[in-house]
Amino acid sequence: MAIQLWNARRNGIGGDRRSLATSAVLALVVAAGMLHAPQSAQATGSDSFLRAKMAIAPPSGARDLCGKYSWACAHSGSTKALTQKDLKTVQTVNRRVNRQIREVTDLSQYSKEEYWTLPDSLRGDCEDFALLKKKELIRSGIAPERLLLTTVLDTRGNSHAVLVLRADTGDYVLDNLTDRIKPWKETRYTFLRMQSPDKAGAWVGLLIRA
């Protein structure tokens, strides 16, 4: 089942623009979160899927996410395959949210370096875009465990957040920097950590470059 790719590209960059050395970030992730081996079925699966390497603490801005938004950490247990209608809905929501929300940093809006929240003011940074997409797609009937909040380093080495769709054929990235929905391997991002598809509220370390 293929996702139709959108070629329209947005101007600007999302998220707090904190330029970080890749090696330093990865070292921090490992030191902070290598707790125990994950139980993800994808750990030994196809390269079309991001492979979990370890259980890990959530990003600092997402530590109270489950209490704030129960849907953000929900797990339905659904085994229903995605339909073409579902995939079209994913495309529509990704594009609509990218156009609806104006990009601003957490620092300028909340006077905090990192604050994960819904962009109710129609302004937000990368993780706020991802949260809104997840909420709208769950409301549209997509299983929450298919919609995984994920942190990465972008092509400039800046920290960034995206929403990963775990489709039946692989993991695809919904990004506020582009309307094109890409397989994770085509992003050129370094993937750091992601919500676990197997355990509500848990996160897993990835540490893999596309």
φ/ψ bin of 162: left (φ > 0), alpha (ψ from -120 to 50), beta (otherwise): beta
Binned at pLDDT 50, 70 and 90, residue 200 comes out as confident
Whether 159 maps to a domain, the answer reads yes
Whether 8 maps to a domain, the answer reads no
pLDDT for 4 equals: 39
| 91 backbone dihedrals φ, ψ, rounded to 5° | -60, -45
Two tokens at 122? 């129609």
Whether 122 maps to a domain, the answer reads yes
Domain that holds residue 201: 22-209
How many domains are there within the chain?
1
pLDDT one-digit tens code per residue, 60-95: 999 999 999 999 999 999 999 999 999 999 999 999
Whether 54 maps to a domain, the answer reads yes
State CA 100 to chain mean position distance.
18
pLDDT at 188 over 90: yes
Find all residues with CB under 8 Å of 49, minimum gap 6, and list them. 42, 166, 170, 171
Whether 9 maps to a domain, the answer reads no
Whether 14 maps to a domain, the answer reads no
pLDDT one-digit tens code per residue, 138-184: 999 999 999 999 999 999 999 999 999 999 999 999 999 999 999 99
Domain of 139, CATH number, reads: 3.10.620
Closest to 26 in 3D by CA, of 191, 188, 150: 191
pTM above 0.75, yes or no: yes
Whether 10 maps to a domain, the answer reads no
* CA dihedral sign of residues 95, 74, 208, 125: positive
pLDDT for 19 equals: 40
Whether 15 maps to a domain, the answer reads no
Evaluate whether 171 touches 48 at the Cβ level (below 8 Å).
yes
